[in-house]
Amino acid sequence: MTTTTALPVLKPKDFASDQDIRWCPRCGDYSILAQMKKVLPTLETPRENFVFISGIGCAARFPYYVDVYGMHSIHGRAPAFATGLKVSRPELSVWVISGDGDALSIGGNHLIHAIRRNVDINIILFNNQIYGLTKGQYSPTSPVGKLTKSTPMGSVDTPLKPLSLAISAEATFVARSIDVNIKHLEETLTRAAKHRGTSFVEVYQDCNVFNHKAFDYATDKTTKDDTTLSLEHGKPMIFGKDRDRGIRLQGLTPEIVSLGKGISEDDLLFHDEHVEDPSLAFLLSRMTHPEYPEPIGVFREIEKPVYEDAVDAQLALSVENKGAGDLDSLLNSGDTWVVQ
Amino acid sequence: MSSADALIEKSITERDSVTVRFAGDSGDGMQLIGTQFTNVAAIFGNDISTLPDFPAEIRAPAGTLAGVSGYQIQFSSQEIFTPGDAVDALVAMNPAALKANLSGLKKGGLLLVNEDAFAKGDLAKATYDKNPLETGELSSYQLIRIPMTRLNRNAVEDVGISLREQDRCKNFFALGIVFWLYNRSLEPTINWVSEKFAKLPKVVDANISSLKAGYHFGETTELITANYRVPKAVLKAGKYRKITGNEATALGMVATAVLADKDLLYATYPITPASDILHELARLKNFRVRTFQAEDEIAAVSAAIGGSFGGVLSVTGTSGPGVALKAEAIGLAVMTELPLVVIDVQRGGPSTGLPTKTEQSDLFQVLYGRNGECPVAVLAPATPGECFYMIQEAFRLAVEYMTPVFFMSDGYLANGAEPWLIPEMKDLPQLKIQHPGPVSNGDSTDFEPYQRNDQLRRPWAIPGTAGLEHRIGGLEKQDITGNVSYDPENHHQMCEIRAAKIAGIANNIPDLEVEGPEEGDILLLGWGGTYGAIASAARSLRESGKKVSHAHLRYLNPMPKNTQSVLGRFRTVLIPELNLGQLCKLIRSEFLVDPIGFNKVKGQPFLVSEIVEKVNEILES
């Protein structure tokens, strides 16, 4: 006799809902959905315990296409819905699907507060640097000078760096992947799911209608080795087609150096995902194309108390100190008097 | 006094009801002594009703009119419903308090002032040119000048605390005088001080010394020649405690959750005058109450909806400005048909308005303040104690109809206190909640999240239930399946279904009751926190032989089914409200009845006399 029931073996197709997918053909979202459906069956979580919550935007349609529980909520607030759900039902695996406008513009406040509380949810930010659903206005991650319908003379707004924001909000898991890096994306989503605390993953996602090829530099086979830096824990930061260049620290500033000519791997920055101090992760999050290769991978994964654990610990402590609540004695508390 | 041995004979007068107002600077501890006096009156067995009245600023410049804080209490041997119209005894700790409160004092009323606080600078801050204690302008009151600061310093000089700390006790000196004036025991307050400051023995010592010194001053001074006795009230037999609306609301939520065997999630953002509900609940974690202080109002309601999706009893609490911010999310709860209770402790508006003052001006906001056809249920408790029962009713409707329900409290109910007959758990309604169970080997596409019962309620299927996986959201839902639908016919139908669901609640709530004649000349129709003033006015008019009835709406949407027939039985319907006529317009548009509005938006509750006067004016015309 066994005491636990083995979970049924599920396949990616078991997570496909019966709804027609309405993203534009060749949208980067398809790949993210496909990798997610591969990851979910591997997480040893009953299917009914997954919940996907989204706000508004193209990415926010995601929950309709995954056959688990889902809520397509209102613009920017998904992290708040997710927090309320997770704190009420800690056993659930709660995912927030968001975009650059949803998470960083209208929902910036909720994003940083979910992260600083370290609620055990997974926030996946589809960053396409554009407003797609409203047909092509610039977003908080669009570069300065971006020409869009709402910026005919170019955007004058300084863009946000999503990972810098997350790290400064005390994020315990921060990673970046790319929609077309199928294998890497799958691994990154798996690691995000397994991390206890808020996992924040930025996915470079191509909007092939309104901002096609925005991340071409990072995905094109001919350039990507020179324009991206694969982060590996404990390894020196080396990049380039011939793996002949690296990142060295000059004071507080990273600099690109060529290996050889008196510079060895030992002179380079070594990646450490688990260092408590966020400086290294923050510094990496500020490295942007074209000045630097853009880091891809896990920037930071540290352990910290999880919000809902702390909430429930107080509930337990309160019961320990005062006993399980008794309604009659609560109603009769304070000064009372009897009228005959 | 001339000499200690020359104790004077003092008379004791019996009174049915007395209204006292304590007024001072917001740092003077007036709310504290008002609350102490209230507790003692309640424990003694009087009926009580209170009105704390304080500024929005924590500490406005000391001594100015802006910084005056007051606490009014009526205590009685009769059943009372209001904190009293006119004040019998006013305690004024400084000139500003005198100036701000004098108009409430009855002619011939007792005026106790701290004359030490009437120096030139104090007078200037209160914009007095001359000292009103000297000019004779107070001659129509029984002015009693007491050098409270000096006498109090004398009383506590041996305790070993600084002069500043000595002066901080003078509110207890004032309280001591008033305790003597109304023949009250010092014991409950002494016990409270001893418990509250157990770790600070000098503070205990000083406050008790001040209290006793004030009491003995009253006893021996020739300045006060009489004191008063207000006998116990004849209340319904049983065990009582004092309760404010916010306390009752919090306890009612806990009671609902305990009896329904559910966890409670209270998600909120601090806002006056609702924050005390959060403070109350945050202490009750051993009842499996989770309080979530969100980053803003929108996050608070969103978290509550998240909790509701997860199957716990979820509430968000706020005041008018917060309701405005929550509107979009409440629309989502209407669309997703999830149970949600929204507490609106109304205050003066618009915008930031009068944060600490009462008003009833959010009725239209909660009924109509959302995009789209967006009906919700709206309830309003009538008294502080009733908040306990009406919040349970709000949960019942939220769960039975899978809908957001507004609970319309206000600043007056929230902070006002009354004696409360403590119910027993076994007599309280038990909310039965059923979530559909797992479907083994079922195909989740068979589950229809928008399949309804007779009441048009959809099932509350929660994550973690195998076979019921489904998606909800803000896009229009296809009837029955709950899939996204842009079909025009479906949208029209769904709008009608959502409206019919809320309208159908009328079949499941009590009728509107009439106090007084069932038909006649005039009906006073009220809602929410104005109950006390309207009921008192109607009773007093009936006692003077007039045919005046009163009906009070606890259900604003939908209204009780008999509302139209009640309205139709009276020649005139008068609607007193603390707004510019919102219920009045609603009644007119719903029932084609043309009521007379009686409106007040001054941040203060109705006086009974104002309503009596208005009714008399109508009856005479």
CB atoms inside a 10 Å sphere around CB B328: 17
| Contact across the interface for B298 and A91, Cβ inside 8 Å | no
3-state secondary structure (DSSP) of residue A97: strand
CB atoms inside a 10 Å sphere around CB A240: 16
For residue A81, give the nearest of B236, B306, B465 by CB distance. Answer: B306
For residue B464, give the nearest of A67, A82, A89 by CB distance. Answer: A89
The reported pLDDT for the residue numbered B582 is 98
What are the DSSP E strand ranges found in A26-88? 50-54, 69-72
Mode of pairing for the β-strands spanning B520-527 and B548-553: parallel
Find the closest chain B residue to A308 by CA distance. B290
What whole-number percentage of chain B has pLDDT above 90?
A: 93
Q: Which residues of A touch B254 (CB under 8 A)?
A: 325, 327, 330
Nearest alpha-carbon partner for B100 in B76, B73, B65: B65
Residue B619 contacts residue B546 (beta carbons within 8 Å): yes
Three state DSSP letters for A266-297: HHCCECCCCCCCCHHHHHHHCCCCCCCCEEEE
| Contact across the interface for A71 and B302, Cβ inside 8 Å | no
Q: Which residues of B touch A317 (CB under 8 A)?
A: 285
Question: Mean pLDDT of all residues in chain A?
Answer: 96
CB atoms inside a 10 Å sphere around CB B107: 7
Place B124 in a pLDDT band, splitting at 50, 70 and 90: very high
Average pLDDT of the residues in A168-176: 98
The reported pLDDT for the residue numbered A334 is 85
| Lookup: tokens for A182 | 């199928």
**pLDDT tens-digit readout, A13-62:** 999 999 999 999 999 999 999 999 999 999 999 999 999 999 999 999 99
- Stated pTM of the model: 0.94
Q: How many CA atoms lie within 13 A of B518 on its CB side?
A: 2
Query: Is B424 at the interface with chain A, CB within 8 A?
Result: yes
| Contact across the interface for A64 and B336, Cβ inside 8 Å | no
Maximal C-alpha separation, chain A: 99
CA–CA gap between residue B403 and residue A271 (Å, rounded): 51
**pLDDT tens-digit readout, A187-207:** 999 999 999 999 999 999 999
Place B60 in a pLDDT band, splitting at 50, 70 and 90: confident
| Lookup: tokens for A312 | 């429930």
Average pLDDT of the residues in A243-257: 96
CB atoms inside a 10 Å sphere around CB B477: 25
Q: Which residues of A touch B470 (CB under 8 A)?
A: 69-70
Q: Which residues of B, range 289-328, sit inside 8 Å of A by Cβ?
A: 290, 292, 294-296, 298-300, 302-312, 314, 328
What whole-number percentage of chain B has pLDDT above 70?
A: 98
Closest approach of chain A CAs to the CA of B286, in angstroms?
Answer: 5
Q: Which residues of A, range 133-152, sit inside 8 Å of B by Cβ?
A: none
Query: Is B258 at the interface with chain A, CB within 8 A?
Result: yes
Cβ burial of B293 (10 Å; 0-12, 13-18, 19+) is middle
| Contact across the interface for A330 and B235, Cβ inside 8 Å | no
CA–CA gap between residue B563 and residue B544 (Å, rounded): 27
Q: Which residues of B, range 44-73, sit inside 8 Å of A by Cβ?
A: 44-45
For residue A5, is pLDDT > 60?
yes
**pLDDT tens-digit readout, B147-204:** 999 999 999 999 999 999 999 999 999 999 999 999 999 999 999 999 999 999 999 9
Place B4 in a pLDDT band, splitting at 50, 70 and 90: very low
| Contact across the interface for A73 and B474, Cβ inside 8 Å | yes
Question: Distances in Å between the alpha carbon of B319 and those of B303, B355, B361, B371?
Answer: 17, 9, 11, 20
CA–CA gap between residue A336 and residue B300 (Å, rounded): 34
Closest approach of chain A CAs to the CA of B422, in angstroms?
Answer: 7
* Lateral strand order in the sheet of A238-239: A238-239, A245-250, A253-258
| Lookup: tokens for A223 | 């350039």
Prediction ipTM score: 0.97
CA–CA gap between residue B121 and residue B131 (Å, rounded): 11
For residue A2, is pLDDT > 60?
no
Alpha helix stretches (DSSP H) within A89-141: 100-101, 108-117
Q: Angle CA(B511)–CA(B402)–CA(B465) in degrees, nearest 5?
A: 145
| Lookup: tokens for B292 | 């979530």
For residue A332, give the nearest of B239, B309, B470 by CB distance. Answer: B239
Count of residues making up chain B: 621
Rg of chain B's alpha carbons, rounded to an integer?
Answer: 27
Backbone angles phi, psi at B440, to 5 degrees: -75, 135
Q: Which residues of A, range 309-328, sit inside 8 Å of B by Cβ?
A: 311, 314-315, 317-319, 321-325, 327-328
The reported pLDDT for the residue numbered A340 is 80
Residue type, B198: A
CA–CA gap between residue A113 and residue B458 (Å, rounded): 33
Count of residues making up chain A: 340
Place B6 in a pLDDT band, splitting at 50, 70 and 90: very low
Q: Which residues of B, range 260-289, sit inside 8 Å of A by Cβ?
A: 263, 265, 267, 284-288
Residue B389 contacts residue A331 (beta carbons within 8 Å): no
For an interface test with B, give the residue of A331, A332, A338, A340 to mutate (most B CBs within 10 A). Answer: A331
Strand partners, B599: B577
For residue A251, is pLDDT > 60?
yes
For residue B292, give the nearest of A87, A314, A323 by CB distance. Answer: A87
| Contact across the interface for B259 and A327, Cβ inside 8 Å | yes
Nearest alpha-carbon partner for B133 in B175, B172, B94: B94
| Contact across the interface for A72 and B235, Cβ inside 8 Å | no
Query: Is A270 at the interface with chain B, CB within 8 A?
Result: no
- Residue located via tokens 């909000």: A169
CA–CA gap between residue A269 and residue A21 (Å, rounded): 44
For an interface test with B, give the residue of A7, A58, A77, A319 to mutate (most B CBs within 10 A). Answer: A77
| Contact across the interface for A81 and B242, Cβ inside 8 Å | no
Place B27 in a pLDDT band, splitting at 50, 70 and 90: confident
Find the closest chain A residue to B298 by CA distance. A77
The reported pLDDT for the residue numbered A4 is 59
Find the closest chain A residue to B328 by CA distance. A74
CA–CA gap between residue A41 and residue A66 (Å, rounded): 12
Q: Which residues of B touch A72 (CB under 8 A)?
A: 471-475
| Contact across the interface for A327 and B235, Cβ inside 8 Å | no
Cis amide bond preceding B384, omega within 30: no
Alpha helix stretches (DSSP H) within B430-577: 488-503, 531-543, 563-568
3-state secondary structure (DSSP) of residue B373: coil
**pLDDT tens-digit readout, B261-281:** 999 999 999 999 999 999 999
| Contact across the interface for B484 and A64, Cβ inside 8 Å | yes
Backbone angles phi, psi at B585, to 5 degrees: -65, -40
Q: Going by C-beta distance under 8 Å and a sequence separation of 6 or more, which residues neighbour residue A151?
A: A137, A138, A142
Closest approach of chain B CAs to the CA of A277, in angstroms?
Answer: 25
**pLDDT tens-digit readout, B511-534:** 999 999 999 999 999 999 999 999
Lowest mean pLDDT among A220-234, B92-106, B215-229, B355-369: B215-229
| Contact across the interface for A85 and B310, Cβ inside 8 Å | yes
Sign of CA dihedral B465, B467, B468, B471: positive
CB atoms inside a 10 Å sphere around CB A270: 14
Residue B532 contacts residue B383 (beta carbons within 8 Å): yes
Q: Which residues of A touch B466 (CB under 8 A)?
A: 46-48
| Contact across the interface for B469 and A67, Cβ inside 8 Å | yes
Q: Which residues of A touch B425 (CB under 8 A)?
A: 327-328, 331
Query: Is B372 at the interface with chain A, CB within 8 A?
Result: no
Nearest alpha-carbon partner for A271 in A191, A201, A174, A195: A174
For residue B295, give the nearest of A46, A73, A110 by CB distance. Answer: A110
